[in-house]
Chain A
Amino acid sequence: MSDINIKKVSYLAKLELNEEKAALYEKSLSEIIEWVDNLKKLDTEGLEPLHNITEKSQNLRNDEVLKENSTEQVLSNAPEKAQNFFRVPKVVE
């Protein structure tokens, strides 16, 4: 049985779950985690994790500037903006 801290997980993911939803998702997650736990049966000692199926090296681009868009385009879908800034409620650090 997995010990899922749904509160922590949803906090990290910036999701708010009311009590009912939290319980439902916790159950759902527990079941899924139990289901995927069958991986424990496999011996993977000494195996390298597979990050990229291509297994090649990162290609590099030249250190050049390409200006392909305008400030307007970057801000065009912004829900709230002001004078070329994105606007959010005041953040206190």
Chain B
Amino acid sequence: MNNDWELVIGLEVHAQLKTESKLFSSSPNQFGSDPNSNVNFIDAGMPGMLPVMNSGCIEKAIKTGFALNFQINPYSVFERKNYFYADLPQGYQISQFEYPILTEGFVEIETENKVKKIRLERAHLEQDAGKSIHDIDPKYSFIDLNRVGTPLLEIVSYPDFNSADEVISYLTSLRQILMYIDVCDGNMQEGSLRADVNLSVKKPNAELGTRCEIKNMNSFKFIRQAIEYESKRQIQVLESGGKIDQNTLLFDTSTGETRTMRSKEFAHDYRYFPDPDLLPVHITEDQIEKVKSTIGELPQQKLQRYVGEFKLEKDVAKIVISEKAYAEFFENLISAKLIQPKLAASWLVGDIFSFIKDKDLQIVDIADKSSKIIQLLEMIEKGTISSKVAKDILIEILQNNKEPVLLVKELGLEQVSDNEELERIVDEALIGEEDNIEKFQSGSDRVLGYFVGKCLKATKGKGNPKVINDLLIKKLK
């Protein structure tokens, strides 16, 4: 940060829960449907309608509690947050205030190879609001209530962030964890995960500055931009002798600037009180234990295991665990213990990933090819085929579903590792190369590569590069 200003950021992340139905009504919890087609009378706030709690939401909240090291509160209360807006049919949002379901958790993030603990103050369940469409007509706005009542878990951090990097690292980890435990689908374009960024600046050892809140951000790229812009703006104001007004802001993605939302007088008196249509939620030890047993391995645990047990390079392991589907695919490959984990991992993050990215596929689309890939990897490990040949065969498996063992036999692609044969090829390759031999002997390593290439060509790529390499070195000395 310039001129020793410190950045202080707190995040409120809203995660849409991946349940079938909504938090307090049995309407479908679905994105992208026709307008007002997932709305029942409760969602629409019709007279006399009453909320009923979805057990699936409690379960997902408990899971999140475990995954984020929260205290899971056996007693929690739903309260009404009262305000008026076109996308809020009841005139209040059912949320939690005094007694949230989760308190005091943390997430560890890694930035610049340091581990930092981000403390989480609380997480609570609440209803999402509908959507207003403002930009298709000059005179009118249009209201779609499909999203009303979608379950949200709002995760509130302490103001522990001091940089945009830390914020992005946290959001990446948080998203990953929530997807791992099947609590949220992490689809940010669809608004499954949104963040309100609370930002202030201060000088070292000074008191916290006045903060502004940038609302409803759902893109890592724009969050970074918003933080950069807003921090600069606040510094500028303070350095020119002004003071920061506590404001609610929106980030304009087209201009790259933050601007105030229409500020409302008295706007923040939400008059919270316990919702008289609902009773307090009591969670038993049994329920908690039951949910605990359904949580699989978390990303951090997988990372440790892959590095510790399988001896994967940390960077490689991080890529494998970056999505649960990748990790599952990887674990599937090595489950029968037919191949080395390191080998499987390197092919996964290399050629396999390239293929699916190239063809715009998901890892799950090639899951049925797992057993063939295992066969291929076995052959590589045994030295039956060379890496170069393997790459081509991989494409044949993934694209045309070919059987690797058969294909190798058919096309006679077995790697040639026989010393006698390769020695013959090496001798042949060296004929008439006196100039290059001299170059090598006077220190040029590049020449070696040239000779290896020449030999490989002579073997039509089937030659074992390592053996060729060793033979060449022996002969050239």
Contacts and interface: CB of A to CB of B under 8 A. Distances in A.
Interface of A: 8, 11-12, 14, 51-52, 54, 56-69, 71, 73-75, 82-93
B20 to A, nearest CB: 5
6 contacts: A8-B269, A63-B54, A65-B28, A66-B26, A84-B34, A85-B142
A82 B55 contact: no
A11 B145 CA distance: 25
A69 B39 CA distance: 8
A89 B55 CA distance: 38
Contacts, number: 128
Interface of B: 19-21, 26-29, 34-37, 39-41, 44, 52-58, 77-78, 82, 84, 86, 132-134, 137-145, 250, 261-262, 265-266, 269, 271, 274, 276, 278-282
B84 A90 contact: no
Given A64-B20, A67-B28, A57 B279 contact: yes
Given A64-B21, A84-B35, A85-B142, A93 B134 contact: yes
A73 to B, nearest CB: 8
B279 A91 contact: no
Contacts of B78: 58
B44 A74 contact: yes
A89 B132 CA distance: 11
B55 A63 contact: yes
A3 B390 CA distance: 83
A59 B53 CA distance: 7
A16 B463 CA distance: 88
Report the 6 A-B pairs with minimum CB-CB distance, sorted nearest first: A63-B56, A85-B142, A60-B55, A66-B26, A86-B143, A58-B279
A68 B40 CA distance: 7
Contacts of A88: 86, 132, 140-143
B69 to A, nearest CB: 25
B39 A93 contact: no
Contacts of B39: 71, 74
Nearest to A51: B274
Given A89-B141, A91-B86, A74 B40 contact: yes
Contacts of B133: 85
Nearest to B282: A57
Contacts of A57: 279-282
A11 to B, nearest CB: 6
Nearest to A92: B262
Nearest to B216: A93
Given A61-B55, A88-B143, A52 B279 contact: yes
Contacts of B137: 90
Contacts of A52: 276, 279-280
Given A57-B282, A60-B58, A8 B266 contact: yes
A89 B138 CA distance: 9
